[in-house]
Amino acid sequence: MPGLTPLGRERLLRRQIDHGEPLLALAAQAGISLRTAYKWLARSRCGGHTSLVDRRSVRRNQRRTLDPQQLQHAVDLRYQRCTLRRIAKAFGAPLSTVARAMEALGLRRLRNLDPRPPVQRYQWEKSGDMIQVDT
């Protein structure tokens, strides 16, 4: 049996489908696991021999970002006190994407939306004008 190129995979599966040879024995002859053989069998049943080609090993779903216009609209919605889940649903974006964008802007928590009140301090014209005497 040749190496496990797409052609070799197809030949392995043909022997199992056409001749009824046990998949465990075929996998052992090819030097692959039974799980891998079943994976290729499932792929060939769904997509034919074209699905037996090697696949890319990179992630199939990359992290999404919001474009600047969407981000501005999301910030406006956040200042209207919309939840992150509602904003994500409005854009059809993952909740994690919206949460990451709001976190970068410091708007993930609702309490960060309102500015803090200024600190009120007592100031007198001359030092010593306000003296407290306890008796």
Q: 115-135: per-residue pLDDT in tens?
A: 888 888 777 777 777 677 777
- What is the predicted pLDDT for the residue at 101? 95
- Mean pLDDT confidence for 43-50: 87
Q: Which two tokens stand for residue 22?
A: 């046990």
Ranges assigned E (strand) in the chain: none
Q: Which two tokens stand for residue 9?
A: 């995979």
- What is the predicted pLDDT for the residue at 124? 74
pLDDT over threshold 80, residue 113 = yes
What predicted TM-score, i.e. pTM, was given to this entire model?
Answer: 0.47
